[in-house]
Each structure stands twice: as C-alpha cells, then as structure tokens.
Structure 1
Amino acid sequence: MLIGEVSRRSGVSTRMLRHYDALGLVKPTIRTSGGYREYSADDIRRLFHVECLRTLGLTLNEAKRALDEPDFAPAELVGELIRHTRARIAAEEELLRKLERVDAAAPAQWGDVMGIVTLLRELESESGGRRQQAVLAQNEGASLPVDALVEAVLSEDDPNVAGALLWSLARAGGAGLTDLAVGLDSAVVEVRRRATAAIAAVPAAEATVLLRRALNDSDVTVRDRAALALGSRHVAEAVPALLEMVVEGRSDVEAAEVLGLLAEVAASADDIVPAMQDLLANTADAPKRLRITQALAEIPGAAAREALAELADDADRTIAATASAILHTRDRRKI
C-alpha cells in the first residue's frame, strides 16, 4: 500500500508518515518495481500501534521504545502518564472554574474581565496584603465573582483580608447568601464562624433568616455573632442570647448596647428589665451582677430607672455605687 492510500485509510497525514519514516518509527519495507516504497501489512499494524500509544499520551520516542525494546516495562511509564494526566485535568478544571466565575459575574467590558481575572489571581496569593488590596481595589460598579469571594471569606484567617471580603460581599447584596448558607452547615466551626460574620454584613432580609438559624448553633461564638447582628436588626428573638452574653461577660458592653436599641424599637423596656432583674436575683456571683447592673445603663425608660434605684441600696457596695453613678448620669442628662 502506497503512502497516499495509507494516509487516506489511517487518517495520518502524509507529512506525518514521512516524519515517522525519518524517525525509524514506521518505515515502509517493500519496494515496488518502479522504486516506490510500499507499506506491508506488518507496517500498517505497527502504524496503528503507534497511533494507539500516542492516544495514551506517549511521545514518539516513548512509542518507539515501547515497540522496539523487548524488555521495555510499560508500568512505570503508564504510571507517569497517569500522574501527568491528572495534573493536566486539575489545571483544566481550575481554568474552567475561573471561566465560569468570570461568566457568572456577567462582565460588560473586557476591562471588567481583566479586573475579575486579576482579583481571582490575587486571592490565591500567599500575601495577605496583596489579597486585601485586590479586594479593596474593585470599583464601585464593578462585576464581582461572588462565589469566589464567598469561598475566600470562608477560608480567610487574616482579619484584615476578611474585613475587606466582608465589605465586598456586603456590596453584592444577597448574591452570595446561598453559598454562605452552606458554610453555616459546615462541620468545621471556624467556617461556621466566618459564614455568620459574612451573613451579618449583608443587609438583605434573607440574611436575617440565616442569622436566626445561626442563633441555635452549638458554638457560642457563632451564637453571639448572630445575636448581635439580629439585635441590631431589631429582632427581639436575640434578647435571651444577648442577656447571656452580658451575664457571662462575652462582649457584654456591645451586647448591652444592642439590648438598649431593642428596648427602644423592638421590645418595650418593661419586657427586658424584668428578665435582667430575674438574673440579678438568681446569681450571687458579684462580677455577673455588676455586669447586669452596668447593662441597665443602656436600657431606656422608667422600669430600668426603678431597677437601678433598688440596686443603689444593694448590699454589694460596688454594685450600689455603680447604680448610683448611672442614676446620677441619667439625671444630669435631663437637666
């Protein structure tokens, strides 16, 4: 069979067949009466063996060794091909993921595409400063790869970078909440904490629903973050958790401020003050009672003032002095 017919039947170009011949990989072994070189059945069989090995990723030299060396052991080479193929597939999947993120951000101009690609690349940097700068450098109206930002915020342990990511996600509104909700169900407590902080930064109503879920988390830090965020959104459901924070001394000043806000706009002071008085009556722990007394300073209304007046006569001098000082401050504000 002459070279042209071999090319037609095998799909290998005549140029490649000549290259195989020059390498000694597949050489036509028959001479016609006219002096042309012709491929025998064995030559054709070898050609198909070469093509088969090439589909596995072997180079031409490796294919030649495999066919010509009787003691050639394929296992090691095949194992290496497997490793290279897996690495190539991983690289292709990473490229696909980046392309999908660019597409999801719906960039309007090539400049937007470049900005997204730059952000994605910098988010992989080992430098916290570079990651932070990349997030903060995004223009106000720029398209954002929200899923990439969510992935980053759920894994970021640098507080400065995390703050920048929270700011960026807040700009995106509720776009990342579905992915952040997955973070709330993570078995890793740090991921749940980061998810709660990120959800708290999003003003959308859907975020409030997720924060209610976080309020029942087994981790106290998650619960505290959810309580502060819910209280700031005027959700009275957060009151028990906020009171616990005051009693236990976990961000008690901030919790007291949020309780004061709730007393003004979401629940009456008369609902919160009795709960605080019950806590005072049911604990003999001086530091806890002092924190509750100090928290009453943030609660507006007559009920809180009456509770403080009673505490001004408390047997604990520190608590009595604290209550008196709070009352004095309140009275001066009225003047």
Structure 2
Amino acid sequence: MLIGEVARRSGVSTRMLRHYDALGLVRPTGRTVGGYREYSAEDVRRIFHVESLRSLGLSLKQIGRALEDPAFTPSALVGDLIRWTEDRLERERELLERLRAVDASAPTGWQDVLRIVELMQGLGSASAARRQQAVLARPEDGPVPAELLARAVLAESDPNVAGALRWALARSGGDGVAALAAGARSQDAGIRRRAVLALAGTPEAPGATAALVDALGDPDPTVRGHAALALGRRGVAAAVPVLVGMVVEGVHDVDAAEVLGTLSRDPGRGSRILTALADELAEPTADSATRIRLTQALVELPGTGARETLRPLARDDDPAVALVASAFLTVLDERCSGNPA
C-alpha cells in the first residue's frame, strides 16, 4: 500500500508518515521499483498504535520506547501523564476564570482589563494584607464582577479579608448570588459557612433568601445558625425552629432570642414562638442552664403571653430558674405598669 493510500485510510498526513519514517517509528516494509514507500498491513497496524498512544498525550519518543522496549511499563508513565494533564487543566481553568471575570466586567478599554487583572492578582496573593488592600483600594470608576468577588469570598479564610470582601460584594451592584448559592452546597463546611455569611449581606439580591432557606437544613450547626439569624432578621418564619434550637443549645442564644423577639411582633408568629419556647421549658431532659436561657428568651417577646409563662417559673423547683424568672417578671411588670398602653 503506497503512502497516499495509507494517509487516506489512516487519517495521518503524508508529511507525518514521512516524519515517522525519519524517526524510525514506523518504517514501511518495502519500496516499489520506483522507490516509493510501500506499507504492509502490519505497518498500518503500527501506525494506528502510534496514533492511539499519541491520543493519550505521549511524545513520539515515549511512543517509540513503548513499542520497542518490553521493560518500558505503562504504569509509571501513565501516572505521570495524569499528573501533567491535571496540572495543565488547572492552569487552563484558572485562565478561563480570569477571562470570564474580565468579560463580565464589560471592559471598554485595555485600562479596564488591566484593572481587573490587577485585582485578581491582588486577591491571589499569599499575603492577607495585600489581599485586603486589593479589595479596599479598588477604584470606584469601574464595575468589579460580583462573581469574582463571590469566588474570592468563598476561598478566603482570613476573617478581616473576608469581611472586606463581603463589604465589597454588597456594594458591587452585581449579582454574585449564583456563585454563593453554589458555595452553600459545597462539601466543605468552611466554604458553606462563608457562603451563608455573604448571602446574609445581600438581602436585595434575587435568590439570596431562597439559598438561605435551603441552608436551614445544613448538617453544620454554624451554617444553620448564620442562615437562621439572617432569615429571622428578614422576617422569614421558617427560621424559628433553628432559632429556638440555638437558644436551647446555647449557640449565639442572645442573638437568636433577640431575633425571635422581632419575629414575635407578628401576633400569629408570636403565639407559635411562645409555644415553642414553653415546650422546650417543659422538656424533662432540659438542664438548668438550658431552662435559664429559655427564660431569658421569653423576656424578648412582646405582649402578655411571656409574663404569664414566667409567673409559674418564678416558683420553679430549680432555685436558679426561679430566681431568674422572678427578676425578669419584676422587670416586665414594672415596664407594663409604667406604660399602660
């Protein structure tokens, strides 16, 4: 089979076939009377073997060793190829993210492009101080892609830099909620915590509240707590069970009690919150510290229901609970008598 026909059947150009011949990788078995290369069926099979190995990323030198050296085992080489490919893909992924960030900023000139690249370089610094400076010193004369800031928030472990990034994200005027919502579903609890904190700072962004509601079912108590506090401040009743649980567990219980008090201004919700706290007080497994926290939470609730619940607690068998309830009941009675309305 002559070289032209081999090229047509194999899809390998005649130029590459000549190159294989020059390297000794695939040499045609014979020559015609006129001196043209003539390939046998075995030669063609070898061409396909070469092309198969090239598709895995092997160099022509590596392919030659693989085909000729029986001691050249594939395991180590394939492992190296996997690592090289992973490194290359990571570099290309980073480049793709940079290009998307630049594109999202809708640059009108190269100065805009350079500004975004400079910000990305600053955010990628190993120095927390430089990362924070990159956020706080950014110019106000051009938009910064919210998605870029959102990704930086999710990756940032330094609390000061994270705070600056959340501030910048809230002021960016863009919508980084999609990236934050994806972060809230991460396998990494730390990323989910950062995502929920950032979502809490974007109350006007579409989808932020829905993402926080989803986070109420998170297995991590810190994620649930951040979501519940943010939702409670937005008046979302779905946060009530988690907020009551925070009071019971003593995790940000003061903040949770204050938010429950705010939610209780709605009469319908107030009744349900009062019942939930009273039910927890009646739990036989509740220890003294838990019942004291629940008693303190009752004081935040408006109306007379909390006072009526506190009265029997002032005579509780637990002296510590009785003392706290009595003190708060006195405060509430004085507050009520001083303001009859």
TM (norm. structure 2) is 0.68
The equivalent residue for 1:252 is: 253
Out of 312, 315, 335, which is 1:313 matched to? 315
- Residue 326 of structure 1 and its aligned partner are, at CA, apart by 1.7
Give 1:298's aligned residue.
300
Distance 1:261 1:90, change over 3 A: closer
TM-aligned CA deviation for residue 89 of structure 1: 8.0
DSSP 3-state at the match of 1:250: coil
User: One-letter code of the match for 1:180?
Assistant: L
Letter in 2 for 1:296: L
Query: CA shift at 1:141, angstroms?
Result: 5.8
1:127 offset after TM fit, Å?
Answer: 0.9
The 8 Å contact of residues 146 and 174 in structure 2, kept in 1 or not, is answered as no
Shift of the 243–92 alpha-carbon distance from structure 1 to 2, 3 Å rule, reads closer
Taking the aligned partners of 1:148 and 1:330, their CA distance within structure 2 comes to 50
Q: State the shift of 1:126 in Å.
A: 0.9
1:174-226 alpha-carbon deviations (Å, 9 max, x no partner) = 61111122212222221222211121111124111111111111222211111
Question: For residues 126-165 of structure 1, what are the structure 2 equivalents within 5 Å?
Answer: 126-140=126-140, 142-165=142-165
Once the 2 structures are TM-superposed, how far is the Cα of residue 289 of structure 1 from its aligned partner?
0.4
1:264 aligns with 2:265: yes
Root-mean-square deviation (CA), in Å? 3.3
Question: For 1:272, what is the secondary structure of its paired residue?
Answer: helix
Does the C-alpha gap of structure 1 residues 244 and 89 become closer, same or farther in structure 2, counting only changes over 3 Å?
closer
- One-letter amino acid matched to 1:116: I
- 2:244 is aligned to 243
Contact 1:174 1:207 (8 Å CA) reproduced: no
Greater CA drift, 278-287 or 208-217: 278-287
1:245–1:255 contact (8 Å) kept in structure 2: yes
Q: In 2 relative to 1, CA 93–313 (structure 1 residues): closer, same or farther, beyond 3 Å?
A: closer
Q: What is the match of residue 31 of structure 1?
A: none
Match of 2:208 in 1: 207
What residue number does 1:103 align with? 103
> How many residues were matched structurally?
265
What's the TM-score once normalised by structure 1's chain length?
0.69
- Between the aligned partners of 2:132 and 2:318, the Cα distance in structure 1 is 49
Matches of 2:174 and 2:335, distance apart in 1: 41
The within-5 A match list for 1:1-335 is: 94-108=94-108, 110-140=110-140, 142-172=142-172, 175-203=175-203, 204-265=205-266, 267-283=268-284, 284-334=286-336, 335=338
Give the stretch that moved more between structures: 224-233 or 196-205.
Answer: 196-205
5+ long unaligned stretches in structure 1: 1-78
- Aligned-pair identity in percent equals 52
Give the superposition deviation at 1:91: 5.5
Unmatched segments (≥5 aa) in structure 2:
1-77
Provide the C-alpha distance between the structure 1 equivalents of 2:93 and 2:279, rounded to a whole number of angstroms: 59
1:157–1:93 Cα change, 3 Å:
closer
Q: Distance in 1 between matches of 2:300 and 2:188?
A: 35
Structure exhibiting the larger radius of gyration computed from Cα positions: 1
User: Counterpart of 2:23?
Assistant: none
Q: 1:95 to 1:322 in 2, by over 3 A?
A: same
Tell me which moved more, 114-123 or 95-104: 95-104
Conserved 8 A contact 1:236-1:266: no
